[in-house]
């Protein structure tokens, strides 16, 4: 989830300008130890390379236009006896952050993405989404968020209500930035150029399969992976930071379904009318390692 939104949603969509910084560029590499498939003796790793570029444009003191680009490639075996697949995302987003008064502001985002094993412009590969996020400022160091995210996944529509919180301690050492159930991040400043933190990423995604042998009707991958990681953050210069992350992927799935196998509606992690038949073999949960390099713009 971090770069499709998450990937798409890990910076521009959920920062919402509640804090005094904004991440312009984010490059993330993810790798896992070999994970065993549940039935056979085969195993697979999950490798991911993701890039986010965010372009805020200040219109006036109350309005900021948000634009961005997300690119992501994941390499993983979808089945024990098949070669590795490349699952790709290329996404664009556009939105606005608007301050109404001293207490209330809002972020509205629309985005489109190609999510497929082939970056190819077609109806089957395209997905569209929308995010609305209201921020209520209680104090400079405490803000609450209320929002809704929706996306046209390959299995159908998903809708996720969002409850968020931003908090900074009086001594500026502890920071919490939560947008649950999608993203949660807490950090503690150890000294001037080092932090320790914990992060949760819980948003899945789907990919259309152009090259597949699962079904004559076509097929898609539904990815879910609730990732909980701890990390060390180091400040390399005034605006460049690096995170080294180690954690665990819970309920990790890359399920393959027939293209016509849909659900009625997904509300967060609850699937209504889900009678789908999985076409591939699941592999087990396991540890994950991430390295993240990002450029952070600070402002008052």
36: buried, middle or exposed (CB in 10 Å: 19+, 13-18, 0-12)? Answer: middle
As a whole number, the mean pLDDT across the chain is 91
pLDDT at 210 > cutoff 70: yes
* Residue ranges per structural domain of the chain: 12-298
Which helix or strand (DSSP H or E) is residue 75 part of? strand 63-76
25 token code pair? 């560029």
Confidence bin at 4 (pLDDT 50/70/90): very low
CATH topology of domain 12-298: Porin (2.40.160)
What was the pLDDT predicted at 18?
53
Which helix or strand (DSSP H or E) is residue 15 part of? helix 12-15
List pLDDT tens digits, range 155-207.
999 999 999 999 999 999 999 999 999 999 999 999 999 999 999 998 889 99
d(CA 161, CA 209): 29
- Report, as an integer, the average pLDDT of 235-254: 95
Residue, of 162 and 14, whose pLDDT is higher: 162
List pLDDT tens digits, range 60-93.
989 999 999 999 999 999 999 899 999 999 999 9
List pLDDT tens digits, range 259-273.
999 999 999 989 999
34: buried, middle or exposed (CB in 10 Å: 19+, 13-18, 0-12)? Answer: exposed
- Report, as an integer, the average pLDDT of 251-262: 96
pLDDT at 110 > cutoff 50: yes
pLDDT at 10 > cutoff 60: no
The strand pairing partners of 56, in sequence order, are: 66
* Verdict on whether the full-model pTM lies above 0.75: yes
**DSSP SS3 for 12:** helix
Q: Indicate the range of 5-14, 126-135, 179-188 predicted with least confidence.
A: 5-14
Give the position of tokens 């954690």: 247
pLDDT at 2 > cutoff 90: no
What was the pLDDT predicted at 7?
36
């Amino acid at each position: 989830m971090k770069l499709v939104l998450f990937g798409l949603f890990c910076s521009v969509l959920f920062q919402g300008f509640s804090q005094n910084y904004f991440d312009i560029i984010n490059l993330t590499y993810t790798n896992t130890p070999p994970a065993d498939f549940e039935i056979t003796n085969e195993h697979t790793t999950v490798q991911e390379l993701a890039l986010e570029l965010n372009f805020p444009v200040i219109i006036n003191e109350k309005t900021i236009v948000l634009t961005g680009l997300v690119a992501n490639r994941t390499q993983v075996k979808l089945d024990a006896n098949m070669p590795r697949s490349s699952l790709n995302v290329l996404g664009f987003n556009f939105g606005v952050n608007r301050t109404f008064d001293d207490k209330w502001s809002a972020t509205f985002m629309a985005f489109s993405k190609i999510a497929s094993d082939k970056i190819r412009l077609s109806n089957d590969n395209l997905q569209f989404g929308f995010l609305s996020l209201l921020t209520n400022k209680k104090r400079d160091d405490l803000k609450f968020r209320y929002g809704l995210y929706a996306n046209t996944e390959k299995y159908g529509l998903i809708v996720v209500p969002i409850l968020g919180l931003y908090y900074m301690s009086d001594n500026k050492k502890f920071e919490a930035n939560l947008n649950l159930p999608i993203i949660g991040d807490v950090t503690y400043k150890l000294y001037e150029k080092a932090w320790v933190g914990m992060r949760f990423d819980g948003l899945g995604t789907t990919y259309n399969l152009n090259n597949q042998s699962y079904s004559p009707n076509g097929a898609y991958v539904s990815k879910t992976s609730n990732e909980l990681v701890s990390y060390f953050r180091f400040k390399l210069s005034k605006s460049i930071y690096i995170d080294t992350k180690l954690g665990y992927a819970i309920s990790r799935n890359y399920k393959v379904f027939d293209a016509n196998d849909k659900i009625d509606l997904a509300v967060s992690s609850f699937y209504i009318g889900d009678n789908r038949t999985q076409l591939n073999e699941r592999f087990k949960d396991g540890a994950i390692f991430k390295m993240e390099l990002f450029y952070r713009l600070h402002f008052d």
